[in-house]
Every structure is written in structure tokens, then in C-alpha cells.
Amino acid sequence: MQEHHDDSDLLVILRHAPHGSSWLREGLDAALVAAAFGRRVSLLFMGEGVTALLRGQQLGPLGQKGTAATLEMLEMYDIETLLVEEQGLSRLGLSSDELMLEVECLSPSALARVLSGHRLVLTF
Amino acid sequence: MRYAILLMGAPYSDQASHSALRFARALVARGHRLEAVFFYHDGVYNAARLAAPPQDEPHLVDAWAALANEHRVALQVCIAAALRRGLLDEREAVRHGKDGVSVEAPFELTGLGQLVDIGTRCDRLVTFGP
């Protein structure tokens, strides 16, 4: 993992599940725009936010667009650092094998290092 | 220091808007420069021109406008989040064929790129949310 960051690097923390609110979608929108503007963006999925990465997330029955398609596009935007809170997964009885993308699982101490390593953090 | 605020809580529903406004006032009172407030998620409702709270409650929309006019603070509203929630300035109202305008100066509809820009440009970006 890269421990050194430029001042313009951005950490986007996603803490909400894909359905039930617009937090995840609006957080991802911010990440994509930042990447499109040339920032190096890392995503950190915490708490219920880890469920965004579960395979087979469908469109919501309420006409939401769904976020799986956006997650599949991350690579195109050069968003390659995908971090997951280890405790977030285990609390929900999930393992990283069940996720649709390759991620790096972070212990609490690694999490603290990532947070302190970024000057700019947006939390959704 | 140069500050910016990201506000994501709806006015009157959450404490976020009240706290953000007090923080903004405290910043300028201490001699700091507040460059911009960026309204995103439900925070965009802070820009609702038609808000009419009871007279014995703080008028948040007017309070933001006063802050902007007194201290040259840019009030930037995410256009995508705003349009979805019925917040349109004159240009967008025309573009979408609506006969009412719900956002006016000093609030301005702008893109998320502005959020990235102020986050990079300012010494501190402080988030208020529910």
C-alpha cells in the first residue's frame, strides 16, 4: 500500500449501503468527478458501506439506478485503491471472497494510518 | 487560514446547518478567511429561496446569504443534487420548462468539480452532515 500521498490526493469514505438512501451514489459521484479532474482517489468502504461491494447487487425496486455499474467503472477512472474495513466485513458475517472487486482489507491500525495519510477526506 | 465548509444536512431537519453556520461565523470572527460553503446531498435545501420558517426561528437561508454578502463567501450548490430535489435557478428553470425559480444569488448552482477544487485550494475543508 502506498503510504505517501500528495496534498491533492483524496480519500472518499463510503459508510452507507447501496439502497435506502442516496449517500452511496452521491459519494461515488464525488469520487468519480475528483478522478475525472485528475486527482488520485482512494475509496474506503466502512460499516454497512462494505455491502456496496457484494456481488449481484441489483437495481433497487424503487427505480434507483444501482451502484454496481458505477463500481465496475472505477478502473476506467483510474480509481484503483479500494480499501475495506476488516471489522465492517466481519461484523456483517462477510468475507472478501464475496466481493465483486479486489480490495485491500484494513485492520484498525492500518485504517488509522490511511486516515492520517490523507489531507483531504470526504465522508459519505 | 483559508477554510471551506461542506454541508450535507437539510436545514431544520438536522443540527448540521445550524452548526455549520455558527462555525462559519466563528471563523470570520477569528480573522480566518472562509472561501466557500459547498452544499451537497440534502444540504442543498439550504439554498431554497422559498423557505419560510416561523418568525421566532433562525432563518437559515437568509443567514447564509447575509454571511456571503458580508464576507464574500461563495455559496456553491451541487447542481445535480439540487435539480433532483427541485432546486432550480432561473437558467435551469428555463432549461427544464419550469415556471418557478427556487434558487437565487448569492447561491450559485455549480458542479462537484468545485468541491474538489476548494478542498485542494483551502487549508481546511470541514464537513457538517447528519
In a domain, A46, yes or no: yes
Chain mean position to CA B19: 13
ipTM (interface pTM): 0.91
The reported pLDDT for the residue numbered A7 is 66
Minimum distance, in Å, between the CA of residue A97 and any CA atom of chain B: 32
Facing residue for B80 by CB, picked from A29, A39, A120: A29
Within a domain: residue A105? yes
Please report the pLDDT score of residue B38 as a whole number. Answer: 98
A75: domain range?
10-123
Please tell me the predicted confidence (pLDDT) of residue A64.
75
Backbone φ/ψ region at B6: left (φ over 0), alpha (ψ -120 to 50), beta:
beta
**Nearest CA-CA partner of B84 in B114, B44, B130:** B44
Which of B6, B86, B88 lies closest to A30 in space, CA to CA?
Answer: B6
Asked if residue A4 belongs to a domain, the reply is no
In this prediction, residue B29 has a pLDDT band, given cuts at 50, 70 and 90, of very high
Rounded Cα–Cα distance for residues A29 and A14 (Å):
11
> Are the Cβ atoms of A10 and B129 closer than 8 angstroms?
no
d(CA B112, CA A34) in angstroms, rounded, equals 8
Write out pLDDT tens, residues B67-104.
999 999 999 999 999 999 999 999 999 999 999 999 99
* Pairwise CA distance, residues A108 & A106, whole Å: 6
Under a CB-based contact definition with an 8 Å cutoff, are residues B40 and B130 in contact? no
For domain B2-128, give the CATH superfamily. Answer: DsrEFH-like (3.40.1260.10)
For chain A, the domain total comes to 1
Q: What is the mean pLDDT of each run of 10 residues along chain A (124 residues)?
A: 66 94 95 95 97 86 82 94 96 95 96 95 96
From B80's Cα to the closest Cα of chain A, the distance in A is 9
Give me the pLDDT at residue A54, please: 95
**Residue A85 maps to which CATH number?**
3.40.1260.10
Q: Give pLDDT, residue A8.
A: 66
